[in-house]
Structure 1
Amino acid sequence: MAKNLVIVESPAKAKTIEKFLGKDYKVASSFGHIADLPAKELGVDVEKDFEPKYIVSSDKKDLVKKLKKMAADSDMVWLASDEDREGEAIAWHLAEQLDLKKENTKRIVFNAITKSAVQHAIDNPRTIDYDLVNAQQARRVLDRIVGYEISPILWRKVKGGASAGRVQSVAVRLIVEREDEIQNFDSENFFRVDADFATESGQLVKAKLPSNLKSLKDAQNFLDLNKGATFHVDDLTKKPAKKSPAPPFTTSTLQQEASRKLFFNVSRTMQLAQRLYEAGLITYMRTDSVNLSKEAKSGAREEVVKAYGDDYHKERNYKGKSKGAQEAHEAIRPTNFAMHSAGADRDQIRLYELIWKRAIASQMSDAQLERTNVSIAANTHDKKFTASGEIVKFDGFLKVYLESTDDEDLEQQGLLPALKVNQALVNRKITATERFTRPPYRYTEASLVKQLEELGIGRPSTYAPTITTIQNRKYIEKGQSEGVEREYVQLSLAKDKVSQKKLTEKTGSDKNKLIPTDVGRVVNNFLVEHFGSILDYNFTAKVEESFDNIAEGKEEWTDMMDHFYKSFHPKVKDVAENAEREVGERVLGTHPESGKPVSVRLGRFGAMAQIGTVEDEDKPEFASLLPTQNLNTITLEEALELFKLPRTLGEYNGYPVEVNQGRYGPYIKFNEKTFVSLEKDDDPMSITFERAAELIQAKEKADAPIYVYEDQPVTKGVGRFGPYIKWAGMFISVNKKYDFDNLSNQDIETLIKDKIQKEKDKLIVDWEEEGIRIEKARWGRHNVIKGKTKVELSKDIDPLSITLEKAKELIEKKSPKKKATRKKSTAKKKTTTKKGASKK
């Protein structure tokens, strides 16, 4: 066994590091956290200073046993998890669970996986930083308490399965409030005036009127004033200007820029950055610092001078604006500036190049510009047109990189021809175009990250999981609409004649923008009403500041938790006892024939419309809302249309064809057992029989057997876990080595035979007449199975020697145990806890 054991979180990281260390070092992976709070209980003793109960999950027990043996056989154990708070907590859990001794345990950190960085860490070990551990404990425990105490209230008062989270719920609130702003926004029209002028030599000068005109009449009158007018350059100024590069990337700015430039979502960006880091190509990707080390600045200078020359280099030091930024850390940068391109696949290469360009540009000279502003006057009125242009005298950092912007209206300034004061200009055309004031933009993933950072909510490691969580919980979804057509008016003056035409444009696109769902909106409204302090932006930011103080040793984490819990828990009890059920109900009006109230609300299976109330003599009527409708905007007329479903469209092959709306969206029903989902552009209220027949035929074609094996048909499809074929009741996954669209008969037979053999290999014992069998499970375990009941055998039971009676006994015990567990779920449990982090 090697004298030194190095433990990291990731097997990919382990593989890279092992290349740098000699034969005296063995590198192993913990595969992330080895211990955490239990999944099915609070796991925090609030009566004993919020003592957490950390356990090793069943899937990590064999790994921990293996690591413990490796540690016992080594002279020195090096804990090399990441340098952030979570990494420090992982190192602490390893020390605790592996029973490591202080004298032969060292903690090392490095912000890049390079030979020099790893060797420097080995030469400069430290001990576990318990302040960082406690900051992570505070976050984990506070978030567990918030989620564990509020979520059951949501199940009873809003919707089963709903849940709350300290940061996630605030993110949802931001999106809901932005959507409210958009829906309450009253757009106003105005007219923007643009003009094309030309010099005597025919060179074009594009100009505009600085102030907009309020109405069509004002626009008409202004264009009339320009009939027969002469124009000249009234004023001209030239000023030198400069543009400076943006600082190197932090986690937040990388996520934003990768979204704008590469169209990656936040999670994708972090996955790719993680792989680049583990391959030793970039520094640590979870950071809020914009600092560069001396080594980095030296490497950047060498590469800039080599590639572009001395004039292009300028050493810069940046200071971050992020609250709680750890300036001792570095920004995200390449580990080797001489490597302009790197990565294992196309997306990694693109992200690496973005990081390289941003980092190298941050150490380059300013771009030197000359800005020209021109004022153009007419002899028939006193309003003046303006034109501006920009020329680059020295490109500096622009040779490599220019930061993107969220401002969709930003116009790039072009070049202007040589002009002088009093120079005559010819009017080619003046247009007055109707424009409309815009509501605030919906958040994208990138702009939501920016807003969370500006409010001081969350930290680099939380942005991606927060956005993923609120989408997985169906509180937020990405818009699909490309927008709707809108008419606008344009007036044009050319050759002293004014013409008018109507044009159309797309507006209101929400493609890939974050939009609250009905569930998200109702949950948010309940939380804001009853737990406003938890969802308060200032409170959430102050909690993050407390975590920072704990990390710096300025505050005790248990004191912070005690202060929070004293006001939080009584509020939870009060809401649980006294709050009314929240279903987001809106009364739209009354039914024109029955006079009964028509309302919409959140039901068990989603948003629905209702005619009547439970107090009526007759039962209320219900109809599910369409996927394109929501509780907040649906009208009475639209709701009444829903009750016209199901619609009978005609007959197909002698069977009636109906369209209806169901739990999973609109569908076509045919021959009592065939159901075909409508596609997203199909409207169930207007779909024709011809279109329905097309969908039925496509379904029949897709369901038709592609092969017959041993007298049983083989069909194929795409499900939740990817492409598959179905044969004899078995679903068989088709992996990437096969061409799914062009499976050969040989491919199909191979897939089926492999599946049959795999099932045989799993089977240990089969009491076919009793419907009981024993199969291999994961991690060397075995399961006794009967129908849907599955019991995992403990390691002390030999699956080959178990009797049928014993198997039956285990199956029979399973159901009562489940019921007992449910009864006890709300009772206070006695737990064995490990002490929190303490300085040893």
Structure 2
Amino acid sequence: MADSLVIVESPAKAKTIGKYLGSKYIVKASMGHIRDLPKSQIGVEVENGFNPKYITIRGKGSVLKELKDASKKVKHVFLAADPDREGEAIAWHLAHYLELNEKETCRVVFNEITKQAVKDAFKNPRPINMDLVNAQQARRILDRLVGYKISPLLWKKVKKGLSAGRVQSVAVKLINDRENEIEDFVPEEYWSITAKLQHKGLTFDAKYYSLRGEKRELAKEADVQEVLAAMKGLPFNVSEVKEKERLRNPAPPFITSSLQQEAARKLGFRASKTMSVAQQLYEGVELGKEGTVGLITYMRTDSTRISPVAQEEAQAYISEKYGAEFWPEQPRVYVKKNSNAQDAHEAIRPTSILRDPESMKPFLSRDQLRLYKLVWERFTSSQMSSAVLDTMTVDLKAGETVFRASGSKVKFPGFMKVYVEGNDDGTVEEHKFLPALALGEEIKPEAIEPKQHFTQPPPRYSEARLVRTLEELGIGRPSTYAPTLETIQKRGYVAMEEKKFMPTELGELVIQLMEEFFPEILDAEFTANMEGNLDHVEEGTEDWVKVLANFYESFEKRLEVAEEEMKEIEIQDEVSDELCEKCGRHLVYKMGRFGKFLACSGFPDCRNTKPIVKDIGVACPKCSEGKIIERRSKKGRIFYGCDQYPGCDFVSWDKPTGKPCPKCEAMLVEKRNRNGVRLQCVSCDYSEEVLDEDHEEQA
């Protein structure tokens, strides 16, 4: 008969842990948080030491009754929520509800859900860590004060339904500032000159490097003509050859932010999807005879630490699978990138390197397998030897000019045999080696190609780029990135266009007001310092009430000034020429989560809405009357369909070009990938690469 109750957050986690613990333990799920601040009021007694007024979350009554009843039938209750601040707070709330003594050993934590890790954790239960709880409480109260104090002000002065948040406001400002940079950007002309050379059957490129011993930029066509004149059509002579060996080290194992970035680059996952799939892998997957097993370690972490046990297993696996030379002389230790990184957890890694992706294929969904493969390969490569590259740089003289060619080849692949980190531009590193060239050797060019370029504005933020920027600035923590990105879209402050963030008019207006009256909320350094203060609370070196009091002292004064000086702004809806087909009134432009849409001006009497359609100038290939228009799915994804729908049901996720395939005359569509755009026939295998402005060479 069971004598212990174990409470976790989710049924999946409960199922996995229950199999490991046996019949003496009952394992139940709290279904996440059980108490929170009320939605209808601020719920914080500011004048009474920022005392929070928690209430039971609506709908949790039956779950809590079940937990209460179960707790009365056992000798021990163990709280096994996730091993972070939020998990500690959940455990504390459960202890409060179940009338447990938080100072007794009722808290159990584990970084991975494997049989050994879980059993070891239950051998070492501990009291609830109130420093962790208070750090979570301070963050929750801080965000509540900002949101519930500024939002009513915005409702009163601007428009109902607006809100302001601490971390989300900084994220929106970054997106807004980037858009301003793009709008203010003035392209600058520059040129390049490429010499196409051939030697012993091998073709290679050399780029213009200097003129008359001076490195001079080619800013205009006249500069190019001066270089060409100085060459006088002369052959190239090899003037210098440099060969050396270069080591390339692997990327560290994943932390939360780098996992989200790499999953976006290589898998096209949104941050929320990455965390959802990672949660499934962490909580456990059914592996046939092996039962339910957690496949990765805890996925909310900013530590790159790896346990010695995991490294020993990795050494044995890598040495056997790839050879002893693929294991470095000393196990790799990665320095914390962020000085505020918490080292309580390990990096994100497979719970066993022996479960390679191929062996997991029968048990995982497509998305689970793709993310698991990413985690497995990143961890495995992070423990391997450095790659060794042979590099060669050659200077070639033609008259008074010098052209330079560079090449490399992999001498020893090391970690690159398993995995190479992606980048935000989606480019793939190519290793091209130069032919054997001797000093003084003469080479005749096949072609000299001058090319005009223009500098490009900075790119808009993708999810991956924004997460990286927030991390670099010290804004937010592992658990906050995904919900922050979701929130700023739900509020209608930003919209996604081709997987890039753009500020909406509403977002620009809110940031403008925040900059005027609450500049510290938008100040990245201020927000980063606040994160540091919360870390000090977690470490037990800072009092959480004092942290809140220091913030609120100046914040309260800002509120008083804003209440007096912020002018009321009436946002007028832009009226369209279209009439509502339901009531005959004019439709107006509104801003939603996925950009602008049309709504009836008679709202709330008439709730008719319709998307804004964009004619792409292509005739429908299926019917003779329709035109192809751009539409959005319910989830905001762009697709293309006939404007005669439902009379014509043509639909395509890829943008039709209106051009016929030169091979079979079927329709060509644009296929976008990380390397650019190509035209693809919908019927045969014809395809061709096309120029895409997002992948133009940048200065």
TM-score when scaled to structure 1? Answer: 0.68
Larger RCO: 1 or 2 (CA < 8 Å, sep 6+): 2
Q: Say if 2:116 is the partner of 1:100.
A: no
Q: 1:377 aligns with which of 389, 397, 400?
A: 397
Whether contact under 8 Å (1:32, 1:90) holds in the other structure is: yes
Which of 247, 252, 258 in structure 2 is aligned with 1:253? 258
Residue by residue over 1:771-790, the C-alpha shift from the partner in whole angstroms, topping out at 9 and shown as x without a partner, is xxxxxxxxxxxxxxxxxxxx
Shift of 1:419: 1.1
Larger CA deviation: 341-350 vs 62-71: 341-350
2:16 aligns to what?
Answer: 16
The answer to whether the 8 A contact 1:659-1:666 is kept is no
The aligned counterpart of 2:419 is: 401
Post-superposition CA distance 1:169-192 (Å, at most 9, x none): 111011111111111111111111
Give distance in 1, aligned partners of 2:587 and 2:554: 49
Is the contact made by 2:385 and 2:415 (CA closer than 8 Å) also made in structure 1? yes
User: In structure 2, what is the equivalent of residue 312 of structure 1?
Assistant: 326
Q: Which residue of 2 aligns with 1:765?
A: none
List aligned pairs for 1:522-537, cutoff 5 A. Answer: 522-537=509-524
How much has 1:121 moved relative to structure 2?
Answer: 0.2
Larger Rg, first or second structure (1 or 2): 1
Match of 1:238 in 2: 243
Deviation of the 1:413 alpha carbon: 4.2
Question: Cα 1:532–1:236, aligned 2, differ >3 Å: closer, same or farther?
Answer: same
State whether structure 2 residue 370 is matched by structure 1 residue 350.
yes
Is residue 269 of structure 2 the alignment partner of residue 264 of structure 1? Answer: yes
In structure 2, C-alpha distance between the alignment counterparts of 1:674 and 1:451, rounded to whole Å = 40
Aligned to 1:679: 613
Residue 128, structure 1, aligned to residue 114, structure 2 = no
Checking the alignment, whether the CA contact within 8 Å between 1:6 and 1:28 is kept in structure 2 is yes
What CA distance in whole angstroms lies between the structure 2 residues aligned with 1:247 and 1:290? 7
Please tell me the residue identity of whatever aligns with 1:89. A
1:725-764 pair list within 5 angstroms: none
- Change in Cα spacing, 1:385 to 1:136, as seen in structure 2 (3 Å) is same
> Do residues 156 (structure 1) and 90 (structure 2) align?
no
Displacement after TM superposition at 1:103 (Å): 8.3
Q: In the alignment, is the contact (CA less than 8 A) between 1:76 and 1:104 conserved in 2?
A: no
Q: Tell me what 1:207 maps to.
A: 206
Instruction: Please say if 1:327 is aligned against 2:347.
Output: no
SS of structure 2 residue aligned to 1:297: helix
Q: How many residues align?
A: 597
Q: Deviations over 1:203-233 (max 9, x none)?
A: 2121111354111232234334445311111
Where does residue 514 of structure 1 map in the other structure?
A: 501
1:792-811, aligned counterparts within 5 Å?
Answer: none
> Which residue number corresponds to residue 311 of structure 2?
297
CA-atom RMSD in angstroms: 2.7
Alignment partners' CA distance in 2, 1:676 and 1:295: 58
- Rounded to whole Å, the distance in 2 between the matches of 1:102 and 1:440 is 52
> For 1:25-75, what per-residue CA distance to the aligned partner results, in whole angstroms no more than 9, with x for missing partners?
110000100111111111111111010011112301121111011111111
Could you tell me how far 1:108 is from its partner in structure 2? 0.6
In structure 2, the residue matched to 1:392 is 410
Q: Which residue of 2 aligns with 1:455?
A: 473
Task: Please state how far the C-alpha of 1:461 moved relative to its aligned partner.
Answer: 0.3
- Structure 1 regions of 5+ residues with no counterpart? 480-510, 584-601, 609-622, 625-644, 648-656, 703-840
The 3-state SS of whatever aligns with 1:242 is strand
For the 8 Å contact 1:475–1:517, the answer to whether it is kept is: yes
CA deviation vs aligned residue, 1:92-147 (integer Å, no higher than 9, x gap): 00000111246875111000000000001001111100000000000001100110
Shift of 1:152: 0.6
Q: State the match for 1:698 in structure 2.
A: 645
**Does the 8 Å contact 1:193/1:433 carry over to 2?**
yes
Q: Is the Cα–Cα contact under 8 Å of residues 50 and 558 in structure 1 kept in the other structure?
A: yes
CA contact (8 A) 1:88 1:133 kept: yes
SS of residue paired to 1:107: coil
Q: Is the 8 A contact 1:240 1:369 kept in 2?
A: yes
SS at 1:20 equivalent? helix
1:765-804 equivalent positions in 2, closer than 5 A: none
Whole-Å separation in 2 of the counterparts to 1:35 and 1:666: 39
2:381 alignment partner AA: A
What SS does structure 1 have at the residue aligned with 2:297?
coil
Distance 1:676 1:70, change over 3 A: closer
Assess if the C-alpha contact under 8 Å between 1:333 and 1:359 holds in 2. Answer: yes
SS in 1 for 2:28: strand
Contact 2:393 2:406 in 1 (8 A): yes
Structure 1 pair 526–658 and aligned structure 2 pair: CA distance change class (3 A):
closer
Q: Secondary structure at the match of 2:74?
A: coil
- Taking structure 2 as the reference length, the TM-score comes to 0.81
Q: Cα 1:398–1:542, aligned 2, differ >3 Å: closer, same or farther?
A: same
What is residue 631 of structure 1 aligned with on the other side? none
| Cα displacement (A) at 1:84 | 0.3
Give the equivalent residue in structure 1 for 2:464: 446
Q: Higher mean Cα deviation, 432-441 or 136-145? A: 432-441
Post-superposition Cα deviations, 1:558-593, rounded to whole Å, max 9, x if no partner, equal 11111111111121122122211346xxxxxxxxxx
Conserved? CA contact 1:676–1:699, under 8 Å = no
Please say if 1:82 is aligned against 2:82.
Answer: yes
Which residue does 1:468 correspond to in 2? 486
Shift in Å, 1:444: 0.9
> Offset of 1:305 from its aligned partner?
0.9
Cα distance, 1:674–1:366 mapped onto 2, change above 3 Å: closer
* 1:560 and 2:547 correspond: yes
| Counterpart position of 1:35 | 35
Report SS of the residue matched to 1:534: helix
Aligned residue for 1:543? 530
**What is the distance in 2 between the residues matched to 1:103 and 1:216?**
77
Letter in 1 for 2:548: M
> Which aligned pairs between 1:173-212 and structure 2 lie closer than 5 A?
173-199=173-199, 201-210=200-209, 212=217
Take 1:562 and 1:194, find their aligned partners in 2: how far apart are those partners? 63
Deviation of the 1:412 alpha carbon:
3.3
Separation in 2 of the partners of 1:152 and 1:454? 32
1:228 matched to 2:248? The reply is no
Aligned to 1:339: 355
Residue 248 of structure 1: how far off its partner (Å): 0.5
1:202 CA drift (Å): 2.8
| Matched-pair identity in % | 46
Distance of aligned partners of 1:252 and 1:432 in 2 relative to their CA distance in 1, 3 Å threshold? same
Following the alignment from structure 1 to structure 2, what is the Cα–Cα distance between the partners of residues 141 and 398? Answer: 46
Q: Partner letter of residue 351 of structure 2?
A: T
Measure, in 2, the Cα distance between the counterparts of 1:676 and 1:33. Answer: 37
Structure 1 residue 676: deviation in Å? 7.2
CA deviation after TM superposition for structure 1 residue 402, in Å:
0.9
Quote how far apart the aligned CAs of 1:340 are. 1.0
Q: Where does 1:421-440 land on structure 2 (aligned, <5 Å)?
A: 421-440=439-458
Cα deviation per residue 1:403-424 (whole Å; 9 max; x = unaligned)? 1122567863411111111111
The answer to whether the 8 A contact 1:196-1:204 is kept is yes
What SS does structure 2 have at the residue aligned with 1:393?
strand
C-alpha distance in structure 1 between counterparts of 2:172 and 2:135, whole Å: 25
Q: Secondary structure of 2:65's partner?
A: helix
Quick one: which amino acid aligns to residue 397 of structure 1?
Answer: F
SS in 2 for 1:195: strand
Work out whether residues 323 and 456 of structure 1, in 8 Å CA contact, stay in contact via their aligned partners in 2. no
Could you say what secondary structure the match of 1:373 adopts?
strand
Aligned to 2:64: 64
The amino acid across from 2:477 in the alignment is R
Residues 410 and 431 of structure 2 are in contact (CA less than 8 Å); yes or no, is this contact kept in structure 1? no
The answer to whether the 8 Å contact 1:376/1:386 transfers is yes
Aligned-partner SS, 2:645: helix
Does the Cα contact within 8 Å between 2:616 and 2:628 map onto a contact in 1?
no
Q: Which residue of 2 aligns with 1:641?
A: none
1:402 counterpart letter in structure 2: V
Tell me, yes or no, if structure 1 residue 276 matches structure 2 residue 294: no
SS of equivalent residue, structure 1 residue 477: strand
Q: 1:731 — aligned with what?
A: none
CA distance in 2, matches of 1:163, 1:123: 46
Aligned to 1:417: 435
Could you tell me whether the CA contact under 8 Å between 1:340 and 1:356 is conserved in 2? yes
